Amino acid sequence: MTTMRDVAEHAGVSIATVSFVINNTKPVTQATRARIEASMEALGYRPNAVARALASRRTRVLALAYPALDHRLGGSGMEFMIAAARRAGEHGYHLMMWPGTNDGREMTDLLGQRMVDGVILMEVQLDDPRVRPLQASKTPYALIGRTADPSDSLHVDIDFEQTVTDAVRHLYDLGHRRIVLVTGTQVSESYYNYGPYVRTERAFVDVTARLGLEPVIVASGHDAGAGRELAQRLRTEQPDATAVVLLNEFAAIGLLIGLHHQQLRVPDDLSIVSMVTSDEMASLAEPTLTIMRSPGTELGELAVEHLVRQMTTGQRPDPVLLPSILVPGESTSPPPRTPIGRR
């Protein structure tokens, strides 16, 4: 393995000078710089990242912390990870995966190893136990999502408030007056106080109030099976509903299928909007889904971007809430004359 010392000898300079040209950290004459670069090339020299990290106290590695158990990381979670890794690379950083529990102790251990310069937290809960250790260790971090008090952390998130408002507004403009919001069940602990649900529900209550509508909220599971069952439940529990907004794409497609089994037509009998959904998922449905497209890729890039900025400037950038974009599909239309439960 060729080291800096080898390069220095080969070029007839000291290792300090080699370091200066590699890091561009002090002026070096064009001549010696050229000589050194030639030597590096000739010897196939590659700086040892570990040694650099130890000496400089910067590893140039970021961590991506996410819950190991949950299979909740759907399509947009994947987008997020991939985008974050790519952007990190563009900034000269590597991305390390940190699957884990939502555990503060674990975070403390990981941070203690001093293996990363910064951390990105996925699936943040309103009261997330991982945040305190991060603050205590003074490690720069970014949340994807928000804690209860968003002001104390750098974060990027989907603008759930805006998203649900836009979704409801879209349906309202089509003429719908009985709109049901389907959130996830909060039974499992990891979903309790799950920001996206809480925020969306709250905003839904607000927007329906402003429009003079009743805020009907139904909880459902996160898979296609739960969605299928939902078709039944809606009919009996919400006979007057003419439109549904869902927070889960699997449930949305399941609902579509369930309705089909009941000889109900979408959108003629019921309109459907699926939030936090990707175009790919929308295209798998029949009819194709009207969605609020989740900005997974943009969030991943932004999280890295802002984290790196904080690390280099020392100042925390303002939080960013990204809107979801309404992508019309075939699952929305004006309401039927007779709601599904009144036939």
Partner DNA sequence: CTGAAAGCGCTAACAC
Partner DNA sequence: GTGTTAGCGCTTTCAG
Q: Is 255 helix (H, G, I), strand (E, B) or coil?
A: helix
Q: What is the DSSP string of 35-103?
A: HHHHHHHHHT----HHHHHHHHT---EEEEEEESS-----HHHHHHHHHHHHHHHHTT-EEEEEEE-S-
d(CA 146, CA 288): 31
Nearest to 232 by CA among 253, 257, 258, 254: 258
Per CB under 8 A, does 224 bind a second copy? yes
Helix (H) or strand (E) holding 120: strand 118-121
Residue 4 partner contact from a second copy, DNA, none using kind-dependent CB cut-offs of 5 to 8 Å: DNA
Q: How far is the CB of 123 from a second copy (least distance, A)?
A: 13
Residue 68 partner contact from a second copy, DNA, none using kind-dependent CB cut-offs of 5 to 8 Å: a second copy
**Of the residues 280, 312, 328, 342, which one makes contact with a second copy according to CB under 8 A:** 280
Q: Exposed e or buried b for every residue in 235-257, given b needs 16+ CB within 10 A?
A: beebeebbbbbbbbbbbbbbbbb
Q: How far is the CB of 103 from a second copy (least distance, A)?
A: 13
Per CB under 8 A, does 46 bind a second copy? yes
d(CA 84, CA 294): 15
Residue 14 partner contact from a second copy, DNA, none using kind-dependent CB cut-offs of 5 to 8 Å: DNA
Per CB under 8 A, does 322 bind a second copy? no
Structure-token pair, residue 35: 């000589």
**Of the residues 48, 185, 188, 338, which one makes contact with a second copy according to CB under 8 A:** 48
Given the rule CB under 7 A, which residues bind DNA? 1, 3-5, 12-17, 19-20, 22-23, 25-29, 31-33, 47-48, 51-52, 54-57
Q: How far is the CB of 86 from DNA (least distance, A)?
A: 24
User: Which residues form the interface with a second copy (CB under 8 A)?
Assistant: 1, 44-51, 53-54, 59, 61, 64, 68, 73, 78, 81-82, 85-86, 89, 94-99, 108-109, 111-115, 223-225, 250, 253-254, 256-257, 260, 280, 283-286
